[in-house]
Structure 1
Amino acid sequence: MANRIITALDIGSTKISTAIASLEEGKPPSVIGVATYPSQGLKKGVIVNIDDAINSIAGSLEAAERMAGLTVSSAYVSINGKHITSTNNKGVVAVAQDEIMGDDVFRAIESARTVSIPPSREILHVIPREFIVDAQGDIKDPIGMSGTRLEVDAHIISATSSALHNLVKCVQQLGLRIDDIVFSGWSASSTVLTPTEKELGVMLLDLGGGTCSITTFVEDKITYSGSVPFGGANVTSDLAIGLRVSLEDAEKIKLNAEELMKVTKSNDLESDATKKRKSVLGQSEAKEDKKKSKDVIDVSSLEIDGVNTISKKLFNEIIEARLSEIFDIVIRQVEQSGNETRLPAGIVITGGSAMIPGITSIAKKVFGVPARVGYPKGLEGLVEEVSSPAYSVVQGLALYGSLDEGYSQTRGQAQRQQSSGGGIFSRLGSLIKNLLP
């Protein structure tokens, strides 16, 4: 039997990442092709130009196909943006027989889906948080249990219809069938967070170029999903203004600053040894040179016209000011939903902007809890190609697809299932294992 091929498309504001994985029964997905392509036609996670977006997606997809040596026909696709919202709702049904069957679970989930949402929105996911059988809660899989009343406590994630339909249109124009559309925060959580973190309580921030998706867990249950329209691109813009360089040069500085700081420090140590041997310089001059070298970052290797060094203090101040503002917005948004932000397991930051220098220290200061950078794991094959935080979502999509067994198990309305080529609810045992955190 041929291995199943899973394609993951992470469509972001600044880059499109594609991973193609081969799935052999009983094994994790094995990456056989991966590519990243600059994103155009998207702003803050939302498509604003269909043609440009199609070209960007095609560039990433075709490069991954060349590496894998095959052509794909379907894909799991990420979605993000400030239009993403979430709520929690319960569904209750009477059990038809003495034993709970898959159909009972399906009906309970459908009952939870009947939450009131505006006509301009569509449901992305209905994620069971727990099942309750005759008042007995904390049940993960009720199939086979005895009872007369089945209740599900579900987390519901929705998106605007326009954002969804434009995304579907772009992918379908490339001849791809959409297996499912997955909120980027939910996708990344499966490959970045540990079971202990989810149990204790944790907030995952997927910080991309134009957006920051937010996902929180408490007692191993997803409690909040959302997004704010700010990301690494805002940091780059601030650096360009503050350092008086172009956006392109500011991006280079942002991406390379941490390594350049290490090089500058290494050069400082070497010059100190030289100064000790050359006492003719005098103590005061040596101290002054040392102070100056510690105050700057040598960026000459980046070949920025007219700029050889930048102020380390100014660089750090710009970074901290913007990231602190983004984190403050996250706190306000989550707390306005009635959820807690000071969670015991702290903050996990992933995504393409997670490697900004000093980001964990700033997060600790703003949130008042521990913080770490989240690296994705769980795949085999070309794992080095997708090991950075920038690939957390695409890795999560591949893992999601491996559990999904080719079915769209969290789909919202049947109309969108048909329009996007996804399947319908099936194999309820697999459904529950896939959807529960």
Structure 2
Amino acid sequence: MNQTVRLRVNNEIPAYRTGLVSALDVGTSKIVCVIGQAEAGSLKVLGSALRESSGLKAGTITSLEQAEESIRDCVAAAENMADARIQNVLISVNCGQPVSVTSRSVMSLDGALVSDNHLRALLADGRARAKLEGHEIIQSAPTTYVVDEARGVKNPSGMFCQRIGVAMHAVAVKPSPLQNLKLAVERCHLNVIGTQFGAYASGLSTLTEDEKQIGATVIDMGGGTTSIAVFLEGHLVHADVVPMGGFAVTSDIARMLAAPLAAAERTKTLYGAAMGEMDGGADVVSVAQMGEEGDDAALRLPRSMLTRIIQARLEEIFGEVQTRLRASGFDVAAGRRAVLTGGACQLAGTRELAARILNKQVRIGRPQAFTGLAAASAGPDYATAIGLLMAGATMPPELLNPDIALGARQEKNESWLSRLTRRWL
């Protein structure tokens, strides 16, 4: 991953860098690690692993020791499959209440030819302006360029102009949850080289180019959170998170039926449905009871009752998604396409329920197929990890880690004496 990549402008996708690429999706209910080998023009998956997560709640670390153990287990399984050892990883972020931040930057060129140096300076200034008090930026990228009076320019490099401007979109989170997530990963002797918003990574692996251009909303349904990423004209334009996910459905079943959490999760997976038309009619299911053993003690109930419990919570989640989209103004602007990803979207009827509540055309998103990716790893629950792998193999370092660009800009603004003193100290 140490090969130099030409500056990326707008939605232009550079060739894959050569080298080992590692992605780590740390979620509330599962952890996914994918290791790939990037070559010229191709990306091959060497190993992947999915393990149950512990020590997290709503995407936030609640126990460093448990989270570290889960991450170690998952990474070790992926390394054994890949027959390789990794040091650097790109991680997904859903903690810290992610919010969108926008900024603009303008540069006067007085009729000069736009060079890569001009673009780097313009983007660095745009990233420096994309900030929110009490938050830390996890990713930032240009959404559009303006050359003199011409808007919507995709690649201004090589053009003559008097003034050039750029609009930036960034995702910001509260710093403490982010630092705790990084700490849990670093305690496994891994170096975090970049961060990406989870739903954005899912969109990279599941959306078609037409969906990114015309407009689409990615709804990543995890165990503890439901993340929202809106794509328009090839870019991420809005990010948000609803602090509810699949675990809320499991908890509802456990409370309503007095069942252990493990039994509630099993019942949801085997017999659950999101809509009444999908529940199997008059079928009866048996649910184990807390503190009791034996089949005779199990609660027998109509499958339709289980469906009503699940449907009520999913309607609340999708209702909150719709409320946030309307508040952002992207409910209509981003078109009628919605793509569901994440493990919690795999219940029967979830797509139909989402389409009814959101008034959109909904499909289940599956990640792109790569050589070496097992069929069992091609489901919606791998979408974020595969998107991270694609980002790590194609994006310049300054897009993966905003601190790189900001650090270079700050060093440029320092005097030679200040830089010398700081290096000696």
Please say if residues 203 and 341 of structure 1, whose CA atoms lie closer than 8 Å, have aligned partners that are also in contact.
no
Deviations 1:322-359 (A, max 9, x none): 01101111122232233325853322110011102211
Aligned AA for 1:374?
G
Of 176, 183, 189 in structure 2, the residue corresponding to residue 169 of structure 1 is 183
TM-score by length of 2: 0.83
Change (3 A) 1:167 1:415: farther
Partner of residue 317, structure 1: 308
Structure 2 gaps, min length 5: 4-16, 409-425
Secondary structure in 2 matching 1:123: strand
Q: 2: distance between equivalents of 1:87 and 1:335?
A: 17
Partner of residue 195, structure 1: 209
Instruction: Give the CA deviation at 1:71.
Output: 0.8
Partner of residue 173, structure 2: 159
Partner of residue 330, structure 1: 321
Partner of residue 10, structure 2: none
Identity %: 28
Q: 2: distance between equivalents of 1:410 and 1:17?
A: 19
Aligned AA for 1:253?
T
Of 182, 185, 190 in structure 1, the residue corresponding to residue 199 of structure 2 is 185
Partner of residue 30, structure 1: 44
Change (3 A) 1:308 1:92: same
Note if 1:68 corresponds to 2:58.
no
1:214-233 alignment, distance < 5 Å = 214-233=228-247
Q: 1: distance between equivalents of 2:378 and 2:332?
A: 28
1:144-155 alignment, distance < 5 Å = 144-155=158-169
Instruction: Give the CA deviation at 1:242.
Output: 2.9
Change (3 A) 1:97 1:48: farther
Note if 1:10 corresponds to 2:10.
no
Please say if residues 83 and 160 of structure 1, whose CA atoms lie closer than 8 Å, have aligned partners that are also in contact.
yes
Partner of residue 296, structure 1: 283
Aligned AA for 2:223?
G
Please say if residues 231 and 238 of structure 2, whose CA atoms lie closer than 8 Å, have aligned partners that are also in contact.
yes
Partner of residue 411, structure 1: 401
Deviations 1:111-143 (A, max 9, x none): 322446444211112221111111212222221
Please say if residues 122 and 412 of structure 1, whose CA atoms lie closer than 8 Å, have aligned partners that are also in contact.
no
Note if 1:384 corresponds to 2:399.
no
Instruction: Give the CA deviation at 1:309.
Output: 5.2
1:12-411 alignment, distance < 5 Å = 12-27=27-42, 29-81=43-95, 83-95=97-109, 98-115=112-129, 117-257=131-271, 294-298=281-285, 305=295, 306-307=297-298, 310-340=301-331, 343-404=334-395, 407-411=397-401
Q: 2: distance between equivalents of 1:304 and 1:257?
A: 20
Instruction: Give the CA deviation at 1:379.
Output: 2.3
Secondary structure in 1 matching 2:218: strand
Deviations 1:46-85 (A, max 9, x none): 1122222111111110111111111111111111035100
Please say if residues 386 and 395 of structure 1, whose CA atoms lie closer than 8 Å, have aligned partners that are also in contact.
no
Instruction: Give the CA deviation at 1:404.
Output: 2.5
Q: 2: distance between equivalents of 1:353 and 1:199?
A: 27
State the aligned residue count: 386
Please say if residues 200 and 345 of structure 1, whose CA atoms lie closer than 8 Å, have aligned partners that are also in contact.
no
RMSD: 2.9
Secondary structure in 1 matching 2:343: coil
The structure with more radius of gyration: 1
Secondary structure in 2 matching 1:340: helix
Please say if residues 259 and 287 of structure 2, whose CA atoms lie closer than 8 Å, have aligned partners that are also in contact.
no
Change (3 A) 1:243 1:308: closer
More deviation in 180-189 or 192-201? Answer: 192-201
